[in-house]
Amino acid sequence: MLTTGLLSSIINSNKNNNSYSFNESAAMKYSRQRELVLQAVRENPIHPTADQVYHILKKDNPQISLATVYRNLNLLSQTGQIVKIPLPNQGDRFDGHTVPHYHMLCQQCGQVFDLQLSLLDGLDEQIQASTGFAVTGHQLIVTGYCPHCQQAGADSTAH
């Protein structure tokens, strides 16, 4: 979770050059809107859509626009500050947890969950060695039904 103290110290340490960076390779000009978008994604484990980020921020920041949210989500994902999760027929979701991991998508409720498994460690290297393809990364999304939806389905068929 991104704390206000940590965020303030990062911003304050870079105020002289009017930029901030959450890692050394992704320096960018500071903007309050970008800070808010990043914070909203990192503090919401629901893997929000752009619309959800917009509605989260709009409550306390009525001046923010949906275009600003989209622009900043794209910039933050391009610089590795967040992860974009493309979902078929649902649009993109965003994850503030940038350590490599996989996701599970519930086909009933549409929720996205983190999956912490090392099943495919070395996969990128294996693909590169066997095909010559220069792998820059991969994403795995497991589809199925979350425990809540499984239980709801079992309850409805028991009657």
103 known member of a binding site? no
Residues 12 and 67 in one domain: yes
Structural domain total, the chain: 2
Angle, CA 130 vertex, CA 128 and CA 135 arms, to 5°: 15
Residues 1 and 27 in one domain: yes
pLDDT of residue 25: 46
Residues 124 and 87 in one domain: no
Residues 12 and 89 in one domain: yes
Encode the chain (159 residues) as per-residue pLDDT tens digits. Answer: 333 333 333 333 333 333 344 544 456 788 999 999 999 999 999 999 999 999 999 999 999 999 999 999 999 999 999 999 999 888 899 999 998 889 999 999 999 999 988 767 788 899 999 999 999 888 889 999 999 999 988 777 665
Residues 71 and 13 in one domain: yes
pLDDT of residue 159: 52
pLDDT of residue 158: 61
- Do 106 and 113 meet the contact criterion of CB atoms below 8 Å apart? yes
Print the domain residue range for 29: 1-97
CATH of the domain at 153: 3.30.1490.190
User: Could you tell me if residue 132 is left (phi over 0), alpha (psi between -120 and 50 degrees) or otherwise beta?
Assistant: left
Give the pTM: 0.76
Residues 17 and 79 in one domain: yes
Q: Identify which of 87, 91, 94, 81 has the alpha carbon closest to the alpha carbon of residue 47.
A: 94
101 known member of a binding site? no
Residues 86 and 120 in one domain: no
149 known member of a binding site? yes
Residues 28 and 62 in one domain: yes
pLDDT of residue 51: 98
pLDDT of residue 56: 97
